[in-house]
Amino acid sequence: MKIIINGKETVLENEVSISELLQKEYVEMQEYVTVQVNEDIIPRADYETQIIKDGDTIEFLYYMGGGNN
């Protein structure tokens, strides 16, 4: 199946959960990543049960603080 991850087409053999996808894609700092699927922010509590399907568009988002001192 084909999906888009952060703008790049990716081919997966099977459907996977968000948690499995994070591991498969070697996403660093998983505790800080927010996952968006087809423009919907997925609650972290659903990462184990939310299944990625053919044609989905996934974004891994990191929100960083910062600014002037």
* Top CATH class, 2-62: alpha beta
Nearest partner of 4 among 53, 63, 49, judged by Cα? 53
Round to whole Å and give the CA distance between 55 and 4: 7
Q: What is the model's pLDDT at position 30?
A: 87
Q: What is the model's pLDDT at position 61?
A: 92
User: What value, to the nearest 5°, has the Cα angle with vertex 56 and ends 53 and 57?
Assistant: 150
Domain ranges, ordered by start, for the chain: 2-62
Asked whether the beta carbons of 18 and 43 are under 8 A apart, the reply is no
pLDDT tens digits for range 7-62? 999 999 999 999 999 999 998 888 889 999 999 999 999 999 999 999 999 999 98
User: Sheet of 2-5: strands edge to edge?
Assistant: 8-11, 2-5, 57-62, 33-37, 40-42
Q: What is the model's pLDDT at position 25?
A: 92
Q: What is the model's pLDDT at position 69?
A: 63
